Amino acid sequence: MAKTDYSRYLVTKPIYEAGPPTKGRQSPSMTLMSNALVPGCNMYLEVGWIWDMPTPNPNIHEHSHNFNEIVLHIGSDPDNPEDLGGEIEYVIEGQPLVFNKTSAIFLPAGTKHGPLTWKKFSRPHMEMAIMIGTGSYKEGWPAGVGESK
């Protein structure tokens, strides 16, 4: 049986391509998985640090995808990892969800989501998006998503 070289699946140098110009957060964010980085993976994963109240706020407006997405917001306090370090309002299909804890949101294909608005900021935290069924930055960030309205 042929031996597989798993090093081709390890990404140690991200691509910086996603997200509108925004003060207070890593912009563009780090693409850590895509077809460009690992051909054939058909997944898109990006991560960005938020180190201050983002400006403009919101910087992500209502949109939807033809694929499933998981959006995570992850706190940075190792003594209290469930505390996000901010308060966010994320509108999904017109329903505002407000949270201040480390969290994950599943967005089925076709679900309208956004805007994403920071209501409070107290400590740096991370935002991560995992897009299942697309391996492309351009599919993950449809035209107009990050533009000011």
Q: What is the CATH number of the domain that holds 128?
A: 2.60.120.10
Q: Cα 127 vs. chain centroid, distance in angstroms?
A: 5
* Percentages of the chain per state (helix, strand, coil), in multiples of 5: 5, 50, 45
Pairing status of strand 43-55 against strand 23-25: antiparallel
- Would residue 3 count as lying in a domain? no
Structurally, the chain folds into a number of domains equal to 1
- Would residue 58 count as lying in a domain? yes
The mean pLDDT of the chain is: 91
- pLDDT tens digits, residue range 46-78? 999 999 999 999 988 999 999 999 999 999 999
**pTM beyond cutoff 0.85:** yes
pLDDT beyond 70 at 144:
no
